[in-house]
Amino acid sequence: MKSKSYALKFALAGGVAFSLMANVAFADSKGKGPQSSAACKGLPNHYQLKRALINARITPNGGFNLDMWGTIVNRDGVVCAVAFTGANRGSQWPGSRVISAQKANTANAFSLPGLALSTANLFTAVQPGGTLYGLQHSNPVDTGVAYKGPAQHFGKPQDPMVGNRIGGVNVFGGGVGLYDANGTLVGGLGVSGDSSCADHNIAWKTRYGLNLDNVPAGVAAGGTDNIIYDIAPPSASGFGHPECSADATSIGNGLPATHPIGPNP
């Protein structure tokens, strides 16, 4: 059951978000940029990602209340959309643009149709002695894609990463797999720009707002891919993540349930 209080807050936040976005010149909501290609069919376009990201960012997330970058990749790791929440590309950490893409790639690359793993779920396993130690050094970022210009297009429909495979592996909070209403794994979402715990909370809420959180199974409580705060050595689950703040932990533990697989009422 989803929390009624959360739903109310989310609805209120949505109203504020659309008010905040009144000064943004959006194009047709169907999108006319390169993310409209067949490779990204069924995934949110730039404008849909931006709206959902802003809605999620303006709610309490237990971090520093910073602006964010968000990236969506398809199942093949091709970047479909890149967006930011601030007034311009310099309103959020510039380095977080590529990190958000890494997170999207990671969540997609290490999730399966029957098992979702968020980037937060990978933290413990990649530590020295962990079962996935070294994973973070595999699948390097394609720097030619990551840093290609012109920079004035970063975070816009024509972001130079769009249409290309970014690669990269990131092993802290902020990346989640995308599952459609049928429970089909269709790609990944990465969010970056705040603490890793806040990034996870914002990514979760963004995915929730896009109704791409129909997760079939995961390693967290309830069979989800939520962040697990049991890092005290050893991690009881084997998939733990360090705490960033008491607020972030409380919010993370209270995130709404994922959508059920199948058509929603």
Is residue 87 scored above 80 in pLDDT? Answer: yes
Contact 117, 219 (CB under 8 A): yes
Residue 72 confidence (pLDDT): 98
Contact 174, 103 (CB under 8 A): yes
Residue 5 confidence (pLDDT): 39
Residue 252 contacts by C-beta under 8 Å, 6 or more apart in sequence? 62, 197, 200, 201, 204, 226, 227, 229
CATH 3.90.1150.10 fits 4-253, yes or no: no
Contact 55, 44 (CB under 8 A): no
**In which band, very low, low, confident or very high, does the pLDDT at 249 lie, cut at 50, 70 and 90?**
confident
CA 229 → CA 58, 156, 202, distances in Å?
24, 35, 17
Q: How much is the average pLDDT of 122-143?
A: 92
Output the six-digit token pair for 72. 């969506």
**In which band, very low, low, confident or very high, does the pLDDT at 116 lie, cut at 50, 70 and 90?**
very high
Instruction: Kindly report, residue by residue over 5-58, the tens digit of the pLDDT.
Output: 334 343 434 433 433 333 333 333 343 445 447 899 999 999 999 999 999 999
Size (the chain), residues: 265
Give 110: exposed, middle or buried? Use CB within 10 Å, 0-12, 13-18, 19+. Answer: buried
Residue with tokens 């989800």: 224
Residue 264 confidence (pLDDT): 57
Measured distance CA(59)–CA(68) in Å, rounded: 13
Q: How much is the average pLDDT of 246-256?
A: 88
Residue type at 17? A
Contact 254, 3 (CB under 8 A): yes
Task: Provide the mean pLDDT of the chain.
Answer: 86
Contact 154, 46 (CB under 8 A): no
Residue 226 confidence (pLDDT): 97
Residue 126 confidence (pLDDT): 93
**Euclidean distance between the first and final Cα of the chain, in Å?**
13
Task: Compute the Cα dihedral for 210, 81, 115, 222 and give only its sign.
Answer: negative
Residue 222 confidence (pLDDT): 93
Closest CA to 83 of 167, 197, 202: 202
Residue 263 confidence (pLDDT): 63
Output the six-digit token pair for 110. 């290490």
Residue 240 confidence (pLDDT): 83
Is residue 130 scored above 80 in pLDDT? Answer: yes
Is residue 135 scored above 70 in pLDDT? Answer: yes
Residue 236 confidence (pLDDT): 72
Q: What percent of the chain has pLDDT over 70?
A: 84
**In which band, very low, low, confident or very high, does the pLDDT at 60 lie, cut at 50, 70 and 90?**
very high
What is the model's pTM? 0.79
Closest CA to 241 of 126, 149, 133: 126
Residue 24 confidence (pLDDT): 35
Measured distance CA(1)–CA(13) in Å, rounded: 20
Instruction: Kindly report, residue by residue over 198-224, the tens digit of the pLDDT.
Output: 999 999 999 999 999 999 999 999 999
